[in-house]
Amino acid sequence: MKGKIYWLILIIVVVAIGFSFVWLRKPSPPSPTPPLPPPVQKGNLEFVGKISGAGSPNFLKGVSSVHIAGNYAFTASLQDSALSVFDISDPSHPKLVKALKGAGAPYYLGGADSVFVSGDRAYVASYLDDALTIFDVSDPENPKHLGVISGAGSPNYLDGANSVCVVKDIAYVAAFDDKALTLIDVSDPSHPKYLGSVAGKASPYLDGASSVVVSHNHAYVATAGDDALSVSDVSDPTHPKHVGTARGAGYPNYLDGATSVFVSGNRAYVASMYDNSLTVFDVSDPTAPLFLGNVHGAGSPYFLGGASSVFVSGKYAYVASAKDSALSVFDITDPKKPNLVDSVQGRGDPYYLGGAWSVYASGPYVYVAGFEDSSLSIFELK
């Protein structure tokens, strides 16, 4: 009997102490409340035309990048390991003019993931071949192979090359698996040469380097593994150095799976795949990117599920979203409150936006590469 009374008293004492602790403990501060979504302003985004098809003749299987130069669209297709060129002078009826394909020698297009056209040259970063390949496209209907540089780790740091941007005679490559930003001298396109690189997880926050753009001697890299926008000073291309970072999944930066970056003026726009998000930063001071605004959300109304690519032209930001198979357009006149103008979505007929992976705007037209639909679709914003 005494044992039972002892245990009963002990239980009462423990419970009383527990209630006292809960009563006296300082309450946690409330979590920050994300800003309300901006209003929707529906516009008029019209489908114009498309071209599709895996394998011969279009080689658009797993198309992951599109770049427009004049009357031609250049695409890189990861699964077809190909560079394709299309005549878009009539955007309602794009037509193939040439395709080059093949992993390994001579083209090293295995896992072709990104294409960038500068002047009369096209540069392709290939994820599986760990390579940067250069083509002469002065005659877009007859591209000629000029040169290649490849190799994972030292000395070229091109493992998982999946994004390229060219400024003057330097190619900047984001290498996903080398966690690196690599600079290549392309002044002699037949013999591209390694210049320098920045690499590493944590600082410089280049884990999963996915997209690179260069502006005013600074390279901006979206990094999916570090959920970050990483900024490097590239004024000395042989010794690039990390100088600034914005990072963090969820509120407030929404950079989970940062996949694409575009810089216009003193603003950087980042599309983040896992946060289903478009975030705007002030980069007037590249060493300290400052959050300005954000819009996020899969499905209606923004259709940013798996946001994978952002392109800015004038007052509009265009976002391709792979999970939602969508193209969304935002008015960014007020960068703190991007406003939805219009969106279209859907796999297969009629839009062929399955796995929308890359977007490029030129004039009144918007071009979207649909990874799953093996398609290049063209729209017009009226």
Domains of the chain: which residue ranges?
Answer: 44-381
For the chain, what is the mean pLDDT?
90
DSSP states along 72-126: EEEEEETTTTEEEEEE-SSTTS-EEEEEEE-SSTTT--TTEEEEEEETTEEEEEE
Query: Which of 14-18, 153-157, 168-172 shows the lowest per-residue confidence on average (mean pLDDT)?
Result: 14-18
Q: With contact defined as beta carbons under 8 Å apart, do 150 and 108 qualify? A: yes
- Tell me: pLDDT of 297 over 50: yes
Number of Cβ within a 10 Å radius of residue 166: 21
pLDDT score of 344: 97
User: What is the rounded average pLDDT of the residues 333-337?
Assistant: 97
pLDDT band at 36 (very low <50, low <70, confident <90, very high): very low
Q: With contact defined as beta carbons under 8 Å apart, do 369 and 376 qualify? A: yes
Number of Cβ within a 10 Å radius of residue 12: 10
Specify the CATH number of the domain 44-381: 2.130.10.10
- Interatomic CA distance for residues 114 and 65, integer angstroms: 5
Q: Length of the chain, please?
A: 382
- Tell me: pLDDT of 32 over 50: no
- Interatomic CA distance for residues 332 and 330, integer angstroms: 6
pLDDT score of 203: 87
Query: Which of 37-51, 116-130, 207-221, 311-325 shows the lowest per-residue confidence on average (mean pLDDT)?
Result: 37-51
Q: Choose between 44 and 299: higher pLDDT.
A: 299
- Tell me: pLDDT of 144 over 60: yes
- Tell me: pLDDT of 30 over 50: no
